[in-house]
Amino acid sequence: MKRILLVNKFYYTRGGDCLVMMNTERMLREAGYEVAVYAMSYEQNVASEYASCFASEVSFAGKGIIKATMRSLGMGDIQSSFNHMLQTFRPDVVHFHNIHSYLSPIIVKQAYNYGCKVLWTMHDYKLICPSYNCLRNGTTCELCVKDKSQVLRTRCMKNSLPASVLAYVEALKWNKDVLQKYVHHFITPSQFMGEKMIQAGYAPDKITVICNSIDKKKSDSFAQINRTTPSTPYYCYVGRLSQEKGIEDLLAVAAKLPYTLYVAGAGPLTETLQKQYADNANIIFTGHLSAQQVVDLVSNATATVIPSIWYENNPLSVIESLCMGTPVIGARIGGIPELIDHGNTGLLYDSGNLNQLQACITSVFEEMQFDNQAIAQKSQVRFSEEKHFASLTSLF
């Protein structure tokens, strides 16, 4: 069995990138691979026998910003730290995940020069957008796809000139021509992201699309779900309450409709939206829910809604809803349309088109008849851990 080194800037359940990497670690170990993880030292990290090899902690706050800036450009102790990891573990394959800023792309070059097969899963748009998300002033933006200097003009990295300058310098140093030399496969969870990378100049033969999956334990639990018909049918939104997620569009439409909407989650718009819709009995804010509470909510809903106005990559919220047998009303943007079979597993509408969104919601309550069991069964196969794992390991 080959020795696999997984690399991510954090090694605990901080975000989606961490969850994907840690699930990959589990799958590899269960399959008999020898696996190690490399990350930045951090107090919340999972215990690791290789923790002594980890990069030292950096912070972009206060006095730590100088060291952190050096780190992002590949200076400081990052190279010696990663070289120690390579010499200690001696991997055959290095699979990178989210490494900008707290680690550095310099370690991609090191892995390649060490003789490893190099894979890099894209969790955001950093390689084509210096500010990560192809979003500016609440709308999608592709100015930097061809010209990274646009980040200086727009100052869209944290609305800060210094931060935008650093993002531009990073983009120049770690440009496509440099990175492509050291990566065998860029793994994109959506075809959409892969196409954007090609648009930005990355070679098509370097791009491999591997959709996100649902872990086997969760999939097995979803297969045991017994859907019930609530006394008051409802639809739901589960996610961050922030502008790019399109929650304001959804609530503007929901306020006009007679159907009950549950809004689960929190974010920067929480207080504003709760006050704005406090008198609307059909809109219920639940706040943050536990994992089991989310399952209970979604599995008995008439539909879930993903109203995003930014380039969602391959959202697990869509995948999990479908695996529970709940159809999804999704905005036709980013990688969302790749996940929804319009008319069979959900409905699609043009992102930002409130009339279309209203028509879709009305349709699922008044006209459409979805086969919930068929949606769940087909989705659990389509998004299975086994299928994802086979695609990933074929690249080793």
Residue ranges of alpha helices (H) inside 34-149 are 65-72, 78-89, 106-114, 143-146
Instruction: State pLDDT tens for residues 366-387.
Output: 999 999 999 999 999 999 999 9
For the chain, domains (ranges, CATH) are 3-215+384-393 (3.40.50.2000), 216-382 (3.40.50.2000)
Q: Residue 159: what pLDDT?
A: 86
Structure token digits, residue 42 = 């951090």
Cα–Cα dist 277/211, whole Å: 36
DSSP state of 64: G
Q: Which amino acid is at 59?
A: S
Q: Residue 308: what pLDDT?
A: 97
For the chain, residues with pLDDT lower than 70 are none
Cα–Cα dist 295/299, whole Å: 6
Instruction: State pLDDT tens for residues 240-275.
Output: 999 999 999 999 999 999 999 999 999 999 999 999
Phi, psi of 306 (to 5 degrees): -120, 90
Going across the sheet that includes 117-121, the strands are: 34-38, 3-7, 93-96, 117-121, 185-188, 207-209
3-state class of 366 per DSSP? Answer: helix
Q: Residue 101: what pLDDT?
A: 87
Q: Residue 1: what pLDDT?
A: 87
Residue ranges of alpha helices (H) inside 105-154 are 106-114, 143-146, 150-154
